[in-house]
Structure 1
């Protein structure tokens, strides 16, 4: 470690990273109330820190997903285990103006010195534009696959139609032979 980095106040450094991160960084207590809401979260979700601090995470969780979210949250608080670990998770979220966002996030369980979970930190990134592009690309790929399948069927049909007359010209026919002798 260099001399200059060893003199940096680590608490200040961590605070500066959180404050200036373009990513949304949110910390909640064991009941799911928001304890930390950085500028990235304010920009992403539209709520000021003043509005978000002390509020429930329901601020950003779509109504239809809340029951599932809280079951998982409570399970994590009780067991100290999150099924997502260090996996990046993609979920829908809600902006203050009501529009749906696509976000990806990872979580870290926060523990006190005794090992008790005192909260969860989430680092989130909005990926709505990327998700929309991926969805459009999947639709175009499906359309291209349907076109290729249809073209394949047309080529097979054309090949069959072209082969039958050629076989007839070459002397092959599906008609039964009407003579038993080749003497004309």
Structure 2
């Protein structure tokens, strides 16, 4: 019989959407195959790196301001609505994405942020095509 942990692991590993988790310093701790496809970095290349690897240089200050604000408030409006931004692929090209994020807490302590990311270019297929 499948347990909750094995089901969550299977979802994480097979999702076409990117799923990542970073600690409160913005260091990537989890990175799935969806992230590999969207951003071009393998799991081994991304784990332990700053989110800066996917945030364009000209957006980093705004990104980190929002990141730290969400952590201090222990809340983000982007848990319920998507944020559309341009991210950066390993090859240096711009990647339009939508994402939602949530603050993750354990034992009433904030441990980081997780995000579910969708490549906008790949979601533009008409529904009835």
Q: What is the TM-score normalised by the length of structure 1?
A: 0.64
- Separation in 1, partners of 2:15, 2:79: 22
1:160 aligned partner = none
Pair 1:38 & 2:29 matched: no
1:83 to 77, 80, 83: 77
Write 1 or 2 for the structure with the bigger share of strand: 2
The structure richer in helix per residue is 1
| Aligned-pair CA distance for 1:8 | 1.9
RMSD: 1.4
2:77 match: secondary structure: coil
Paired residues of 2:21 and 2:29 also in contact (CA < 8 A): yes
- Aligned counterpart, 1:158: none
Residue ranges of structure 2 left out of the alignment (5+ in a row)? 125-129
Tell me the number of residue pairs that the alignment of Structure 1 and Structure 2 aligns: 124
Q: Relative CO higher for 1 or 2, CA cutoff 8 Å, sep ≥ 6?
A: 2
Higher-Rg structure is 1
Aligned equivalents of 2:48, 2:35: Cα separation in 1: 14
Q: TM-score, normalised by structure 2?
A: 0.91
1 CA distance for matches of 2:122 and 2:12? Answer: 24
- 8 Å CA contact 2:76–2:102 kept in 1: the answer is no
| Large movers: runs of 4+ above 6 Å | none
Give the superposition deviation at 1:10. Answer: 0.6
Report what 1:167 is aligned to: none
Aligned to 2:127: none
